[in-house]
Amino acid sequence: MQEDVVVTKDSISGTLHFIEGGIAQSGPLAGDGNFLALKFSNFDPKATSIKVGLDPSQGTGLVEIINDPDRNGVFKIHDNAQKFVVEVTTPEEVERFEYDLTDLVLEES
């Protein structure tokens, strides 16, 4: 699905392979495309919400992952001009982190 993907302070780079048919039968992960899978860790233990997604979204918006024991996020990347977004909510604040995707190589079919 992806190889040599690297997450830095403000960007994600690497190669996303094209997958025919997608990785699900229906929903946002269905259909041909390039998919990015990330595992999230090391968040503030006071977090009451951790949402991840793409901006602009292709319909799913941000997805809550705080109750996912694996804290995984998988997304179909339609355009590497999108930003990958993480929003962490604690009782004190909402922090928004944006990651540039322009260095992702989206393989074609």
pLDDT in tens, 24-69: 888 888 889 999 989 888 888 999 999 999 998 766 689 899 988 8
Predicted model pTM: 0.84
Rounded-to-integer distance, Cα 85 and Cα 64, Å: 12
Q: Which residues on adjacent β-strands are paired with residue 100?
A: 11, 83
Please tell me the total count of domains within the chain: 1
The helices-and-strands tally (H runs, E runs) of the chain is 0, 10
pLDDT one-digit tens code per residue, 83-107? 999 999 999 999 999 999 999 999 9
Q: Which CATH number do you get for residue 72? A: 2.60.40
Give pLDDT, residue 83: 94
Model confidence at 1, in pLDDT bands (50, 70, 90)? low
What residues make up the domain containing 60?
Answer: 2-106
In this prediction, residues 70-76 reach a mean pLDDT of 86
Give pLDDT, residue 60: 65
